[in-house]
Amino acid sequence: EVSSLFTSFQTVVETCRKRKIDVAGALPKDDPRKEFLEKIIAESEQRRLDILDDIKNGNMQEAIERVWDAIELAYSRRAELLALCAKIRSAGNYTEKIGS
């Protein structure tokens, strides 16, 4: 059962990763959202690799803890990310620094 949960988790993570990369790739180089997305992609990629390494090495408890930490991080950043999305949607131009 744990194996199938990790397979499902990996599928969701891969889908999210590909979508973020697609969105970042579609943005112009000078768009401040691109840098923000690339930072998120790099952080989530490292978490993903750490989880996969734990699974490959049979450290299931550590993998579960990392998954849980990733979920908690995503939840704790939810309000920040929703505010950022609203800011991006309502922006007339993108000269304002993202996150300020």
Report the domain count for the chain.
Answer: 1
Question: With a threshold of 0.85, does the pTM exceed it?
Answer: no
pLDDT tens string 42-64: 888 888 889 889 988 999 899 88
The conformation of residue 98, written as its DSSP 8-state character, comes to T
- Domain range for 27 is 2-90
Question: Is 99 a member of any domain?
Answer: no
Asked whether residue 100 is domain-assigned, the answer is no
Written as six digits, the tokens of 63 are 């993998």
pLDDT at 95 over 60: no
The Cα–Cα gap between 66 and 47 comes to 8
Asked if residue 71 belongs to a domain, the reply is: yes
**pLDDT the model gives residue 2:** 64
- Count Cβ atoms below 10 Å from residue 66 Cβ, excluding itself: 19
Structural domain includes residue 98: no
